Structure 1
Amino acid sequence: MKPARPLAVTLGDPAGIGPEIIAAAWRALGAQGPAFAAVGDADVLARHAPVRRIARLEEAHGADRLAVLHRPCAAPVQPGRPDPANAPAVIGWIETAVALALKGEASGVVTAPIAKSVLQAGGFAYPGHTEFLGALTADAPWEGERGPVMMLAAPGLRTVPLTIHTPLRSVPDELTAETVVRAARVVDQALRRDFGIVRPRLVLAGLNPHAGEGGSIGLEEADILAPAAERLRAEGIDIRGPAPADTLFHEQARQAYDAALCPYHDQALIPVKMLDFWGGVNLTLGLPIIRTSPDHGTAFDIAGKGLARPDSLIAAIRLAAEIAARR
């Protein structure tokens, strides 16, 4: 399935692997698409592919050169050496892509990796992409439960971290029944709307070993997770758990659910990366726009060395296009 309108792909940190994986994705997808244009510095991208500067996103169709909505960096770009002086440009690329999606000119947004610490040194006020996208789209119309909620997707597995970049010792304090209920509503809605699943099946992982083992290894399951699951079932959402996380991710177990809600970051990300390290996709649910991203970082250590693999970005572009076609 392909959307009629191109996707907007942001460059990410220009000193990271974003420029080279965007160029590699353009070569891999070729004329078959999905069509996309990069939003970023055309001169940086020109180091990796022939580029065509465009004024409007609709000009992105065609595979002779990589289409770029040129928005220049403020400082020279050296691979592997990020510069906070370019933070305003990186932020601006995201804002431009989101605005295009909100206006209906882009069918969705795919974001190459950013370095949060570099952006924050340049004045960025958000923990990451997900929260920034939520703020940029907060006033746009949206039917249903509003996110943002992060989902990680690989063939055969979708996971949702209920807390994201939270120190492990702080997870029990941030994990509330309302957090679980809100996320589950967004996930149920997204599985229906964006993945075409008529009757989504969710599973809720326990926080503690053995899902608390009746309270002997922790009370979060009894006090927070079980009441949240019961409330969701009363609303008509098919969710089971809390279930011991160590038995949720083998092949047979994955057949019983469409998405797993996990109390903390690594509980959700490790199984996805074990299953498909190179091709996992990060997507943001509950937004009036479609947003996907490769499930990896800027990789400054290999930037510019020709070692970066575009698999995850290609998967992110394809998934964004599939969701756009369904919507």
Structure 2
Amino acid sequence: MRKVLIVSKYFYPFESGSEKTTRYIIDYLLKRNYNVILFCLKGDSQKLSEKVVFYSIKNFEKFYDRFSKKKILKEILDTIFGFVFIFKIILKEKVKVINVHYAEGVMLPAVILGKIFSIKTVILWPTSSVNHLKKYEKKIVYIYSKISSKISDLFIAKGMDEVEIKKIFKVNSKRLVSTPNPIEQKDYDLPFPEKSEKLGIYYLGKYNGFKRPDILVRALAKMKLENRRKIFVSLYGEGDYKSKVDDLVKKLDLERIVTVNPPTRNVKDVIKNHHIFVYPSPFEPAFAQSILESFSAGRLVVCKKTKAMERYFNEASYFGLEKMDSSSLSKILDWIVENYEKEKVKGIKAKKIIIEKFNFDYFMDILEECLS
């Protein structure tokens, strides 16, 4: 009996990129006759099969919400709840494998408990799978790296490659398996908007200091006036930069072309009505879910150029900026607006790459090899 415990920080309805991928992974594991247990800090089982055993901290949610507003307390709470619940699940469910999907604070208890109970632990990073077996070369360095995962994440966010991951986490090369984040491309096989005078630019993601939607807003203000008249821009998300983004739109007199929206659950409709996706983070790694969704739909994508991104995509399939700032972004947006008909083939090429190299069968074969 192959029992896998999936650990994800959040789950539906608190769903962004990694949570969607977690849901897809669960569906595929069920198809391959795994018994799946899901533990998340916040979320519910609405989108889960009845075959999945579901655990969350629902009974402690008010306590968690009250103290988790401060980031340092949140990480501590994640670790404490992670220890308690994962320990309970291991004893009750007799799991054989723990699969952690980039869950930050709950990675540490998952890995430590996995070692205590000799359970294989597979950690899925945004651009790789780090397969942790029973022995580590330097345990103290590994544990320290996990405790300081936030700092390590900053390096990963800049496009860390396999060599750098090995260096930071001291992972033996035999335990490191590179995989792209998978996506169901056919779910995003959407038509382009009907021909109109204006091109639609969109952003999907958090309004925060990591993903930096304010860079996009500033870039729009620096575009040529005649090109601004040819676009409309839609931002979707939530976060502590929301008021900053709202103020910038007003201050830069962009209200006629920019709408700042709350998060949407209907991503497909957003993509269907737009042409160009901009991911303005100066740090973000490749393969954010919104990037993959846009590639899958054949949309033009503008984002930071990273080592991980270059592993699968080249300048013929997307617009990768060496430096993501408002000036660089405004220049590339001007170029796209002026040359859209010629450049839109990039989106079609990216879509083909997604179909070939980001499909779930390929990913699940690699993951199953780690789990077996």
* TM-score, shorter chain, exceeding 0.5: no
Superposition TM-score tier, normalisation by shorter sequence: 0.3 to 0.5
Q: Which has the larger radius of gyration?
A: 2
Structure richer in helix, relative to its length: 2
Does 1 or 2 have the higher relative contact order (CA < 8 Å, sep 6+)?
A: 1
